[in-house]
């Protein structure tokens, strides 16, 4: 997604995160279970939360089964929260009101097996 579609989706995810996820499941922030107040600046966190939000909509929304919410908790919620808040997770190094950007690993060649020019 890009442009307005991405902005709209990110806004919906943000509203859900701030009004549903964190008030109900946020728990206290500690060094063993960090959370970043600027979570949207961590691409891994955005990807994980987006998947969690989509699963929540599918398993708890209209047309879902009566066991959908229990399945969402068991199969998605705690796995994602545990990963996000792990000491080595995307929020490692972030503290309350302090965001620490993460460095992406370096890559020696972007496309090492890309097209090779024909021999001269």
pLDDT of residue 1: 66
pLDDT in tens, 49-95: 999 999 999 999 999 999 999 999 999 999 999 999 999 999 998 88
Q: Indicate if the pLDDT at residue 96 is higher than 90.
A: no
pLDDT of residue 2: 78
> Exposed (0-12), middle (13-18) or buried (19+): which is 99, by Cβ within 10 Å?
middle
Which residue, among 112, 72, 86, 77, has the nearest Cα to 33 in the 3D structure?
86
Q: What's the predicted TM-score (pTM) here?
A: 0.83
Residue 67 CA: distances (Å) to CA of 47, 72, 92: 25, 9, 34
Q: Which ranges constitute the DSSP H helices of 17-119? A: 22-25, 43-60, 68-72, 78-84
**Which has more confidence, 25 or 103?**
25
């Amino acid at each position: 997604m890009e442009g307005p579609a991405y902005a709209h989706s990110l806004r919906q995810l943000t509203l859900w995160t701030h009004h549903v996820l964190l008030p109900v499941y946020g728990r206290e922030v500690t060094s063993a279970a960090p959370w970043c107040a600027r979570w949207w600046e961590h691409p891994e966190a955005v990807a994980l939360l987006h998947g969690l939000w989509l699963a929540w909509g599918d398993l708890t929304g209209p047309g879902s089964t009566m066991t959908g919410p229990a399945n969402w908790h068991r199969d998605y919620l705690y796995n994602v929260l545990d990963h996000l808040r792990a000491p080595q997770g995307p929020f490692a190094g972030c503290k309350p009101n302090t965001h620490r950007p993460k460095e992406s690993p370096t890559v020696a060649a972007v496309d090492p097996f890309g097209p090779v020019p024909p021999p001269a």
